[in-house]
Amino acid sequence: MRQLTIAVLIPVAFLVGRATNPTPASAHAENRIYTLSQGDVVRVPGAATRCTAGAEGGATNLFCHRAPEGRYQVVFYADSILVWKNGNPDKPVFSARWQR
């Protein structure tokens, strides 16, 4: 469970950081970490991205896409990442595995 939380928090922290984009003069000393539960949604308006914590086939994941519709969708799993064009999840354009 701990590794899953870490796997989910890394992309969420990246997206939140990109959305807030603080300048050096206005950088805050405290950071925030969010833990998502299944069904929770993270929206990053600055990056026009929406991510949903969910599960598919018993494996928890983080599904991200641009809002409004972009060209690609991304799913982060505990041990891999999949990227595919909208509407074509059976043929990923990029996939990679990493060790837990």
Confidence class of residue 80 from pLDDT cuts 50, 70 and 90?
Answer: very high
- Could you report the per-residue pLDDT of 16-41, keeping only the tens digit for each? 666 666 555 455 567 778 899 999 99
Phi, psi at 14, each rounded to 5°: -60, -45
Q: What local confidence, expressed as pLDDT, does residue 45 receive?
A: 86
Q: Which two tokens stand for residue 67?
A: 């809002």
| Average pLDDT over all residues of the chain | 80
Sheet of strand 72-77, all strands in order from the earlier edge strand to the far edge: 41-44, 49-56, 59-66, 72-77, 80-85, 94-97
Q: What local confidence, expressed as pLDDT, does residue 24 receive?
A: 53
Q: Which of 14, 15, 62 is nearest to 36 (CA)?
A: 62
So what's the pLDDT on residue 67?
81
